Amino acid sequence: NAGVTQTPKFQVLKTGQSMTLQCAQDMNHEYMSWYRQDPGMGLRLIHYSVGAGITDQGEVPNGYNVSRSTTEDFPLRLLSAAPSQTSVYFCASRPLVARKEELFFGEGSRLTVL
């Protein structure tokens, strides 16, 4: 099993450019989420989804869009990148069944916006 796969691992953008961070999981998990990690801030939830066609905002959703057309994929879109979006982004998933609450994380995507 590949688990949670994130691409790209590294990306450099210029202010105003757009891009999509890809996240795919092969565990048939209903729940998927995106976090950003900044020094001294821990992980902050950007968006999450409890199934195909359903998305919701987390703590810091501004500047990001998501969609969930399949169970496997949950891409994160930056429409117009800003330096404040320089961060490490983590995708995580879990099944939505009782007593299986642990999140499975990808290895992260490190984004620099110049």
Partner 1 sequence: SQQGEEDPQALSIQEGENATMNCSYKTSINNLQWYRQNSGRGLVHLILIRSNEREKHSGRLRVTLDTSKKSSSLLITASRAADTASYFCATDAKGNTGKLIFGQGTTLQVKP
Q: Which residues of the chain form contacts with partner 1 (CB under 8 A)?
A: 4, 31, 33, 35, 40-45, 48, 50, 56, 58-59, 90, 92, 94, 96, 101-108
DSSP 25-77: ESS--SEEEEEEEETTTEEEEEEEEEETTEEEE-S--TTEEE--SSSSB--EE
Q: With respect to partner 1, which residue has the nearer C-beta, 17 or 65?
A: 65
Looking at residue 85, the DSSP 8-state letter turns out to be G
What phi-psi label fits residue 51: left (phi over 0), alpha (psi between -120 and 50 degrees) or beta? left
Q: With respect to partner 1, which residue has the nearer C-beta, 55 or 65?
A: 55
Q: With respect to partner 1, which residue has the nearer C-beta, 16 or 59?
A: 59
Query: In whole angstroms, how close is the CB of 20 to partner 1 at the nearest point?
Result: 19
Query: In whole angstroms, how close is the CB of 69 to partner 1 at the nearest point?
Result: 20
**Residue 17 near residue 28, CB atoms below 8 Å:** no
Q: With respect to partner 1, which residue has the nearer C-beta, 19 or 88?
A: 88
